[in-house]
Structure formats: C-alpha cells, structure tokens
C-alpha cells in the first residue's frame, strides 16, 4: 500500500504535526512499508466478529457523586508555558 507525500501531508495536518519536506518523504516510505505488512489483516474472516476495545470485561464503572478536593490553580498552572493570573494564556482559536 503505497502512501504518497500528499497523503502524509494531509494526515499530518489532521494531527497538527509540522513536517519538513525530507521528513515527509521518509515518513511516506515508512508508512508504506508498515501498511503493506498490515494489509494481511484483510485475509482474516471477521464476519460476525465484534471488535474488542478493552481486554478486561468491564461495564459502567461509576463512583459516588461526592465532591472531593481537586488541585489548586498553582498546581494546575505549574507547567504552563504562558500564564495569565489563574489562566492558561493561549492564542485565539475563534476569529
């Protein structure tokens, strides 16, 4: 399954991953190689097989609706690259 540069660029944009042109070339080759191997999954008969998302049988794990202490603003903001009072400062997302 050959993956083109364009596809790599498209997927990189989806995950907000900047790439320079040489990286894009090499990653296209790497992805192609892996996807070619992974294609053998198509050989497996999975009709009537349901997907496994979780290896341990577990449903509806709940806790009591009780308020417990959380973190202080100081702790939350301790690693903030840009801080404004008790807020993370971030560039605008909406115009």
Q: Which residues bind other proteins (CB under 8 A)?
A: 3, 7-8, 11-12, 14-20, 23, 26-27, 30-31, 33-35, 37-42, 44, 46, 49-56, 58, 61, 63, 71, 75-76, 78-82, 88, 90-93
CB of 73 to other proteins, least distance (A): 11
CB of 18 to other proteins, least distance (A): 3
Query: Considering beta carbons, is residue 42 or 65 the nearer one to other proteins?
Result: 42
Q: How far is the CB of 26 from other proteins (least distance, A)?
A: 8
In the three-class reduction of DSSP (H, G, I as helix; E, B as strand; rest coil), residue 82 is classed as coil
Alpha carbons 25 and 4: distance in angstroms, whole number: 8
- Buried/exposed code over 46-71 (b: 16+ C-beta within 10 A; e: otherwise): eeeeeeeeeeeeeeeeeeeeeeeeee
């Amino acid at each position: 399954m050959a993956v083109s540069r364009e596809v790599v660029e498209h997927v990189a944009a989806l995950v907000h991953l900047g790439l320079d042109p040489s990286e894009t070339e090499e990653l296209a080759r790497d992805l192609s190689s892996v996807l070619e191997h992974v294609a053998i999954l198509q050989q497996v008969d999975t009709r009537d097989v349901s997907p496994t998302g979780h290896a341990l049988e577990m449903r509806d794990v709940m806790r009591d609706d009780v308020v417990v202490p959380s973190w202080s603003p100081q702790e939350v903001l301790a690693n903030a690259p840009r801080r404004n009072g008790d807020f993370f400062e971030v560039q605008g997302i909406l115009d």
